[in-house]
A and B are shown apart, each in its own frame.
Chain A
């Protein structure tokens, strides 16, 4: 992304999703679904395809990060080690860990392989981030409940790169048993290809097996200039469980916005927001970045609005 060296990244579950067209807007890709081993085609369960996916990304000039299971039990650690070994041999640029045990495992068995922590690693404080640095962590995604004011402190004191969720549904909860198994008309693994929504009052959540997601899409487009001014350079567009068109189109809108910002061109807020809205079924929120309830949306003028 030009002189600013901005990384726009996203996540895919399967080899099929690793294609140049849909990933065109991104500089880096997290490979594999950390939440469910049974997800059809999950790259974390097929190491040959994982190696192929890494090679493909490298061929496209992109960085390849490899996800790891979010909450592995002791009996699964051997498999995690083999997964990381495959990733390292195939030339992955980093692995992502939501589990602190996995962070330790990678640090001890694969010293030098950079680790990024995901939102479920629960980085809430600067001291927590600084401690993780001693375990080979190079980049943290603070827990999504952490405000921008706190994220600044984590970055400054922790001395680590910080990744920011820029757009997409954010995970709100992780469980150990698949919710969708309650619906025999939608058997595993096909159920994961279906969108399931939970609705009560005016709240909407999305549910995919073991993860509850925000029903609204986090949208930080209007705040992107502030994030860039604040020095953030790694941004995630969460597209797990989204169709390829979402990954491509939302990515292209952000890429265009970043290019306009880098080149000092006119910022087309209404047009970009309108285009993003086409991909959001239940509207936007900003998550917890401004200290509010996660479902609220604060615009660039600091006003809470419904969008």
Chain B
């Protein structure tokens, strides 16, 4: 059965998406995931969320998908040991060294490779499977045949169905930290690498600044944004189910809990309807329902983007 995975950017959001029908939720420990600290959880919050999610009979996945300092890996292992005692069900990782260390220390813990691993081919999938990875979060830029190739490699496939695509491959961009990077050590000694989405999660979204494009003949275009679009895979969900995709993921820890609750409700109903009668699936009414969610999402994202761009010159 396919799993609907929802974001948990706060304890309120975790509760909301559970109520809305998510099968699993992913959360980020503060300083360790690809989001700003405001949308990550402190350890005590994470513990409470694990307990809450399990009380619903659902799963909680911990995203530790940043690329740390070499000296932070022992701290990561210590934290994971604590999280495991709270019953977390899987971990999402990016760094090859971290994946290797975690698999060696906790061989039973399912490891999912983050979209930031940027796998693009069958040899990549085999490489990460050899490291101990069990499931791959597929980049939005991957064509369908690659999703089949991930399956053939013996790995679970996680597909983003409601997300934003970056201009670049995720994990292959350090434009944000080119503009601003601040090293900030927290009380545990974790560097938050503020400004680096790969390392600390906070991205200033330079790609969405208005760029003038010039060449030797003069200015070719004014105020261009590097392509960075909302991504909704609604009409392709039946194809995902047919392909044997393991997880359908909704991105959005930075949005409001109410909005993410609404998104989860929509996709929950859509998936259930599709599973009940796959041949008669008609995407049109679902697109109509998605419109309001998209509108609110676009508003919240635009506000957040403006904030991040302002902060980039602070």
Contacts and interface: CB of A to CB of B under 8 A. Distances in A.
B288 interface: no
A72 interface: yes
Given A122-B67, A150-B69, A294 B181 contact: yes
A82 interface: no
Nearest to A135: B127
A101 B70 contact: no
Contacts of B121: 72-74, 76-77, 99, 101
Nearest to A198: B211
Nearest to B153: A74
Interface string B93-128: 011111011000000000000000011111111111
Nearest to A128: B97
A100 B96 contact: yes
Contacts of B118: 71, 120, 122
Given A145-B177, A172-B178, A294-B178, A74 B149 contact: yes
Contacts of B171: 122
Contacts of B187: none
Given A122-B67, A153-B71, A183 B220 contact: yes
Contact of A73 (B100, B143, B183): B143
Interface residues of A, number: 64
A279 to B, nearest CB: 16
B127 A100 contact: yes
A248 interface: no
B145 A77 contact: no
A125 B178 contact: no
A89 interface: no
A128 B145 contact: no
Interface in B209-237: 209-216, 220-221, 224, 226-227
Contacts, number: 202
Given A127-B100, A197-B215, A102 B123 contact: yes
A34 to B, nearest CB: 12
Interface residues of B, number: 64
A227 B206 CA distance: 31
Interface string A150-174: 1001100100000000000000111
A162 B220 CA distance: 39
Nearest to A130: B97
Contacts of B54: none
B69 to A, nearest CB: 6
Contacts of A126: 70, 97
Interface in A68-109: 71-77, 99-105
Contacts of A173: 167-168, 172-175
A99 to B, nearest CB: 7
B73 A125 contact: yes
A290 to B, nearest CB: 10
Contact of B70 (A127, A145, A175, A288): A127
A246 to B, nearest CB: 15
Given A74-B145, A179-B226, A197-B215, A104 B123 contact: yes
9 contacts: A125-B95, A126-B70, A127-B70, A127-B73, A172-B178, A173-B168, A195-B216, A199-B212, A294-B179
Interface of A: 71-77, 99-105, 120, 122-132, 135, 143-145, 150, 153-154, 157, 172-177, 179, 182-183, 185-186, 194-201, 203, 205, 207, 212, 214, 288, 291-295
Interface of B: 67-71, 73, 94-98, 100-101, 118-128, 130-131, 141, 143, 145-146, 149, 167-169, 171-175, 177-181, 183, 195-196, 198-199, 206, 209-216, 220-221, 224, 226-227, 313
